[in-house]
Chains A and B, each alone.
Chain A
Amino acid sequence: MIPEIIIRNAPALLIAVPMLAAFITPVIVRAGNGVMKAWALLATAATAAIAAIVAWQVLDFGTIVYTFGAAAPGLAVPLDSGGIPVRIIFTIDAMSAFMGIIATISAFAVCLYAVASEGRQTGQEIFFALLLLLEVGILGMVSTGDLFNFFVFLEINSIAGAALVSYRIRGGLSVEAAMKYGFISTLGGLIVLTAIGLLYGQYGALNMAMVASRMQFTMLDGIALAMLVAALAMKSGAVPMHFWTPDAYGLAPASVTAFLVVASQASLYGVFRIVFTLYGGIVQSLDWTTVGWIVIVLGVLSMFVGVTMAIPQHDVKRLMAYHAVSQTGYMLLGVGVGIALLGTSSFDTYGIVAMEGGIFHIFNHAMYKGLLFLTAGAIIYRTGTSDLNRMGGLGHSMKWTMLFFGIGALAIAGIPPFNGFASKLMIYESVYLFNPLLAVIAMVVSILTLASFVKVFHAMFMGPRLPEFAEVREVPAPMLLGMGLLAVIVVFFGVFPEQVVAGLVEPAARALADQGAYIASVLGGA
């Protein structure tokens, strides 16, 4: 049914299709804006289909290894190389496939939304080209098995993201946000590269599996680990390195913000991949628990500071951005508990559940946070203001947007039966067994989240119809479709969590925890 050549080369197409589409976009725009938008939509849909093929292959037949430039995809270690994988290798295990699905679904919904929401802007071909490049960066980060390649995609991610944040100038405010984002992520990228240099200097390899199999855990390795964790946690917006997040999320166009959430999660994936796969060999030592606790502390700080900073905000997107910081904390907490417990007897009873909860939360967060940012963008699109103090009574004229916002808000607050509840329940129960205090903090944060979103809902939609918004209508259909797609996923994942957890999340958590299988898939059981 699907041509064999596509299945065989699916990991490469995952990068090649959006990249080619991005480069063609500035050319194809000469045939008209409509053609260009249709092209961008087609490209994101095709990428989503390829990500689905990749995920199906991975879940059915195990980790895929794709060697660029080799005669066959599986030839990771050439015969004349002395047992070192010299080429750029994509190693796609269940976790990578999982992140790929998140990124491509979100990209498609965002693209659908942006077709209408950016319709009044100039230079749209650059916007869609950058959006596709950002998708390339994210997909590359999550699928690569090569440290330097990871850095390159991280930089593509940063540059495309910073350029997109400044897409609308808005009297310089967006440029300020983009400057801060671009500057600090470039510095983070350089620190990642230094850490990669430290590892290369010691082990003479860039392939993650190769470095992991040679890892000696010297002091330099510890420094490299700290640099990688700090820089990537900064890119994912963990407190106390979160200061760029509200700026960039708040000022970027709403469609971009919804996708930047996924871009941050690719960095979060980087943290987990580095800790588990690269450094998974130190499980038994005391350091390992320290690593877990560092991630947990970052997570708890993010949860608490994020939500408390969100409550007094009055700019709707800045408020949501602080919530994004807070929700990132849940993922760090869940997976951090998994890290701290890895290798102990408790891991199989509740450590793995905490990890599954954290990883499931990545998916849920990308969907409901994307949905919330898109609804905020829809409100701003029609009212022209993002200040909550000036809004009110929009529920009369924007019923669909109100419905989607309600779904997103209930999901982020962890109210059943939406998807946020399912993942948060897994985190609460397993974290309670690890350390009851952490679980209590997580629940308090969840309550504060609900309180904060009640405020936003009231301010935006409730109350009588205000005279200044008498002309406000519902947003155009493509924007509603983009939001609707995400809302359907939020509800579906909330009603059938077990299927998703068993089908996608658990393989991802197991793949992340199993360092030996990752190394063996590249180096061939050595």
Chain B
Amino acid sequence: MIANLPFIAVAVVALIGIVVILTRQNLVKMVMGLSLVEAAVNLFLVSLGYRNGGIAPIFTSAPAGEMVMPTVQAMTLTNIVIGIATTALLLSFVMLVYRKYGSADAGVMRRLKE
């Protein structure tokens, strides 16, 4: 049960993010929901690499013992970098939409339809 806690947290955070994306029409809040989903994915990846009692995978002055998986941590880091790029891009879009449409609402941002 305890070992599964991180994964439960992943599910909770991802669900909150998805519910925010689906129910809020404010574009800034939708981007926040996306960031929540991203955080959940990052947490998921890091939890995957955890070994019970493992130490940080740094060879400098490392004590003997099991190490946690470093690959997932590298993946998480890459995803954080990508997440910064996408969030910055999406927020700039929100700013431009707000400036041109006078509102940052998904219900207003629907001139393209049908």
Provide the main secondary structure of the chain A interface: helix
Instruction: Report the bound CA distance from A178 to B85 in whole Å.
Output: 15
Q: Which of B27, B71, B93, B99 has the most C-beta atoms of chain A within 10 angstroms of its own C-beta?
A: B93
Tell me if B72 and A200 are in contact (CB < 8 A): yes
Is the CB of A193 closer than 8 A to any CB of chain B? yes
A29 to chain B, nearest CB (A): 22
Question: How many A residues touch B, CB cutoff 8 Å?
Answer: 34
Tell me if A182 and B112 are in contact (CB < 8 A): no
Given the complex, which residues of B lie within 8 Å of A193, measured CB to CB?
41, 45, 75, 79
Given A148-B75, A200-B71, A201-B48, A155 and B86 contact (CB-CB distance below 8 Å): yes
The residue of chain B having its C-beta at the shortest distance from the C-beta of A179 within the complex is: B93
Instruction: Report the bound CA distance from A78 to B83 in whole Å.
Output: 32
Interface residues of B in 84-102 (CB under 8 A from A): 85-86, 89-90, 93-94, 96-97, 99-101
Instruction: Report the bound CA distance from A190 to B80 in whole Å.
Output: 11
Q: Given A169-B100, A183-B90, output 18 extra A-B contacts at Cβ < 8 Å.
A: A162-B89, A169-B96, A171-B100, A172-B100, A173-B111, A176-B111, A178-B93, A179-B97, A179-B109, A182-B89, A187-B37, A190-B38, A193-B45, A193-B75, A197-B45, A200-B72, A206-B71, A250-B112
Is the CB of A358 closer than 8 A to any CB of chain B? no
B7 to chain A, nearest CB (A): 10
Tell me if B111 and A152 are in contact (CB < 8 A): no
Tell me if A179 and B94 are in contact (CB < 8 A): yes
Interface residues of B in 25-82 (CB under 8 A from A): 27, 30-31, 34, 37-38, 41, 44-45, 48, 71-72, 75, 78-79, 82
Instruction: Report the bound CA distance from A197 to B42 in whole Å.
Output: 10
Is the CB of B21 closer than 8 A to any CB of chain A? yes
Instruction: Report the bound CA distance from A207 to B48 in whole Å.
Output: 17
> Which residues does A use to contact B, with CB under 8 Å?
148, 152, 155, 158-159, 162-163, 166, 169, 171-173, 175-180, 182-183, 186-187, 189-190, 193-194, 197, 200-201, 206, 246-247, 250-251
Tell me if B71 and A159 are in contact (CB < 8 A): no
Given A148-B75, A169-B96, A187-B34, A179 and B27 contact (CB-CB distance below 8 Å): yes
Instruction: Report the bound CA distance from A516 to B40 in whole Å.
Output: 35
Given the complex, which residues of B lie within 8 Å of A186, measured CB to CB?
34, 86, 90
Tell me if A175 and B79 are in contact (CB < 8 A): no
Instruction: Report the bound CA distance from A158 to B83 in whole Å.
Output: 12
Tell me if B97 and A158 are in contact (CB < 8 A): no
Q: Which of A162, A163, A176, A247 has the most C-beta atoms of chain B within 10 angstroms of its own C-beta?
A: A176
Given A163-B89, A197-B41, A200-B71, A183 and B34 contact (CB-CB distance below 8 Å): yes
A403 to chain B, nearest CB (A): 31
CB < 8 Å: which of A183, A201, A251 contacts B30? A183
The residue of chain A having its C-beta at the shortest distance from the C-beta of B101 within the complex is: A172
Given A186-B90, A200-B72, A246 and B112 contact (CB-CB distance below 8 Å): yes
Instruction: Report the bound CA distance from A189 to B21 in whole Å.
Output: 15
Given the complex, which residues of B lie within 8 Å of A190, measured CB to CB?
34, 37-38, 41
B44 to chain A, nearest CB (A): 6
Some 28 contacts from A to B, beta carbons below 8 A apart, are: A148-B75, A155-B86, A159-B86, A162-B93, A166-B93, A169-B96, A169-B100, A172-B96, A172-B97, A172-B99, A172-B100, A172-B101, A173-B112, A176-B109, A179-B27, A182-B90, A183-B30, A183-B90, A186-B86, A189-B86, A190-B34, A190-B37, A193-B45, A197-B45, A197-B72, A200-B48, A200-B72, A247-B112
A148 to chain B, nearest CB (A): 6
A260 to chain B, nearest CB (A): 15
The residue of chain B having its C-beta at the shortest distance from the C-beta of A186 within the complex is: B86
Instruction: Report the bound CA distance from A176 to B78 in whole Å.
Output: 28
Given the complex, which residues of B lie within 8 Å of A169, measured CB to CB?
96, 100
Instruction: Report the bound CA distance from A200 to B72 in whole Å.
Output: 9
Instruction: Report the bound CA distance from A182 to B34 in whole Å.
Output: 11
Given A152-B78, A177-B112, A182-B93, A158 and B86 contact (CB-CB distance below 8 Å): yes
A196 to chain B, nearest CB (A): 8
A66 to chain B, nearest CB (A): 20
A452 to chain B, nearest CB (A): 16
CB < 8 Å: which of A158, A159, A176, A200 contacts B112? A176
Given the complex, which residues of B lie within 8 Å of A189, measured CB to CB?
82, 86
Given the complex, which residues of B lie within 8 Å of A148, measured CB to CB?
75, 78
